[in-house]
Structures are given as C-alpha cells and as structure tokens.
Amino acid sequence: MADAASPARTRVAIFISGRGSNMAALLYAAALPDAAYDVVLVATNDPQAEGLALAEAEGIPTFALSHKGMSRADHDAAMDEAARKAGAEFIVLAGYMRILTEGFTRQWQGRMLNIHPSLLPKYPGLDTHQRAIDAGDSHGGVSVHLVTPELDAGQVLAQMKVAIRAGETAESLAERVRFAEHQLYPRVLNDYLRMQR
C-alpha cells in the first residue's frame, strides 16, 4: 500500500456529522496505491458522531467541536482553523449536516466538495429520498458537487442514478444510494484533485 505521507498526494480534511460511511469509503480508497489524496483530518460538529470512533481507530487525527451554543461564524472559524492546522488543502464534506457561512464557503471555494443524496438540481436540502418517491420518479441518486454559498447549488462534478423499485421506502432507497455514494465519491475526488494539478 502507498506511503500515507506521500508528498505527491493532496492533503484533505473530511467533515462528518454522523455515521461516516462515506468517510470510511474515502479513507479506504486513500489506502489504494494510486490514490490522489491523504486524509489528514476528520472533523465533526458532533462529538458523538459514529464515524469519529472509526477515524480514531484508523489512526486519523480528529477534531470534534459541538456547534451547540456557538454562533455559526464562530463554529465555522474553529473548523477552518482545525483544517488549516492539519495542513488540509481541500475539504471533503461527507454527511456534514451544517449550513456553512458564506465566508467559510468563499475561503474554500473550488477546494471543497460535497456529496448530496439526490440527482441535483432535484431535491436540494433534506428528505431527498421521500421527495423522489412521492414525486413518482423512476430514479433517485447521488451528486458530488463543488460547494458554493447557495445550498446544494454548486457545479455538479458527477452523478449516479439509483432505480426506485415498487414499494420502495425512503430507508431502503437511502441504503442503496449509499452503496452508489461509496463508489462515486472517492472516484470523483481522485479525478478532481488530479485535474487541479
């Protein structure tokens, strides 16, 4: 496997809020010899986030700071400082369920990606799977996009469609969409980082 400190790799920080399955997919993809990035930090706004324990077990530096009782700007500033201290060049949002301040998104514009569980521009925001089912869509899916100040509206880098079956529930669709996410996100991140060089 590749040397984790390889200088040819871009240093990325992953932000999570929960389970961290996309974080896990990104971490293990970074262990492949031809990966374009190293994960130098996993940061979260929820000290109880399930993904945090996995990152720690895998020896990745972590930063956890609850947003509760803090202004959005102060919390973003603390996350920004943690990412910079870790030497991150890019931020990868992986189920980070916080709306970011305009200042933060401008600081990282072009260097911050997000994964969203719908075929954008359809269904920005929450409850994406239920909204796709309720609309009678034949497919849900996932989008990887650049983050801009407007929520879920930055340039889409790639999408993957996931069929909606008869009798589908939001939970069953979410589970299958996650399989698609785990394929798509590391691939798109690798391709995007290589394009930036």
Residues that bind ligand GAR (CB under 6 A): 16, 18-22, 51, 94-95, 115-117, 178, 181
| Shortest Å, Cβ 197 to ligand GAR | 27
Q: Which one, 81 or 127, has the nearer CB to ligand GAR? A: 127
CA-closest candidate to residue 144, choices 171, 120, 109: 120
Q: Which of 75, 116, 129, 145 is catalytic?
A: 116
Q: What is the DSSP letter of 155?
A: P
61 vs 7, 11, 94, 114, 165, CA distance in Å?
Answer: 18, 12, 16, 21, 40
User: 146: part of which helix (H) or strand (E)?
Assistant: strand 139-146
* 10-16 and 90-93 beta bridge pairing: parallel
182 in active site: no
| Shortest Å, Cβ 166 to ligand GAR | 22
Q: Which one, 20 or 154, has the nearer CB to ligand GAR? A: 20
| C-beta nearest to ligand GAR: residue | 95
Phi-psi region at 90: left, alpha or beta (left = phi > 0; alpha = psi -120 to 50)? beta
Q: Which one, 19 or 72, has the nearer CB to ligand GAR? A: 19
Which of the residues are catalytic? 116
